[in-house]
Amino acid sequence: MEQPFGVLAELTYACPLHCGYCSNPVEMERYRNELTTEEWQRVFAEAADLGVLQLHLSGGEPMLRKDITELVGTAHDLGMYTNLITSGLGFNRRRAEALREAGLDHVQLSIQADEQTLSDKIAGTTSFERKQEVAELVQELDWPMTLNVVLHRQNIDRIGGILEMAHRMGADRVELANTQYYGWAGLNRSQLMPTREQLAEAETVVREAKERLGTSMEIIYVIPDYYSSYPKPCMDGWARRQFTIIPTGEALPCPTAHEVIRGHGLDPVTVREHSLQWIWESSPVFNLFRGTDWMPEPCSSCPRKEIDFGGCRCQAFALTGDAARTDPVCHLSPDHELVTGAVEAANDPTRPQPGELIPRPNPGRRS
């Protein structure tokens, strides 16, 4: 068993944005009883003892935690590389300077589009101009900056403008990630899935931008699972290299495994009841799909089984109701028609233009 190198700490599911592509769980009221400052600090110390080197602070919106600077300082003192994943709202000069002093290493800023009307519509709130200001502040304070763009049917045609804007904003790295259909994105899949034509054009634009910009800005482009022949190695394999702690202290092998665990009749494992070492090494949840022994055919005899690890367990569960089945994205899966059917629907020339997305609500906080 390898030791984990990264932890995603989802500090809160509260968020000022209402993005319809959000992967946070739909039943958000269940996750309001957040870990305290002291509980998170203990978790960080246990993570460092496990060998974790990278700590990603996310949500929701982590800047809604009043103790964010204190938490960053704790992680910094433990020797972990800290990355703040933020919408930019709540990231003012005073708090930014405090985070810099506390030792924050990196800022990852989400953007929705390259023009205000569309960006604010997707975000569900006025935020476009604020993101520009935050990017300038990040540059001024000399942080490395990644811009994260979730691509979907409603913004993928703007990808050229998004990349130009990212370059003007001084981004070191841009992650162009096509939507994963979990949580709120799963509810909005029919409104979010792009067409083949959109993807082909987007890939051309990205390729040309990489050639034009060279090494001045790293561009990561991830095609959507539904258009792939093989699934991606989700999280480098279940509980293999990294894991997630959600606001209530539940430990997950990946950020969207909530329903998989309950669907398999397992009790959640929380840091309020168990040490991280026990959770990582011995918990039934983390050992459920670890390795390859659990795999059915065609995965168990496939030469790719230690490349993609059977694909995404959350996707298999969402589409088939059984997380132990081969990810239906794989063209060898007996359930592949579930994916091809969705793709055909997305490319139906008679389908209506995209309508309104179901907005992600803000559940508030209770700690």
Report the candidate in 339, 310, 320 with the shortest Cα–Cα distance to residue 263: 320
Q: Is 299 annotated as a binding residue?
A: no
Q: Report the C-alpha gap between 66 and 63 in whole angstroms.
A: 7
Q: Strands 6-10 and 242-245, how do they pair?
A: parallel
120 within 8 A of 149, measured Cβ to Cβ: no
Q: Is 312 annotated as a binding residue?
A: no
Q: Is 15 annotated as a binding residue?
A: yes
Question: Is the peptide bond preceding residue 60 cis, with omega within 30 degrees of 0?
Answer: yes
The token pair that represents 184 in the structure block: 């709120």
Helix (H) or strand (E) holding 221: strand 218-222
Q: Strands 6-10 and 54-58, how do they pair?
A: parallel
337 within 8 A of 330, measured Cβ to Cβ: no
Beta bridge partners of 251: 245
Sheet holding 242-245, edge to edge: 218-222, 173-178, 145-151, 106-111, 81-86, 54-58, 6-10, 242-245, 251-252
Beta bridge partners of 84: 57, 107
Binding-site entries for [4Fe-4S] cluster = 15, 19, 22
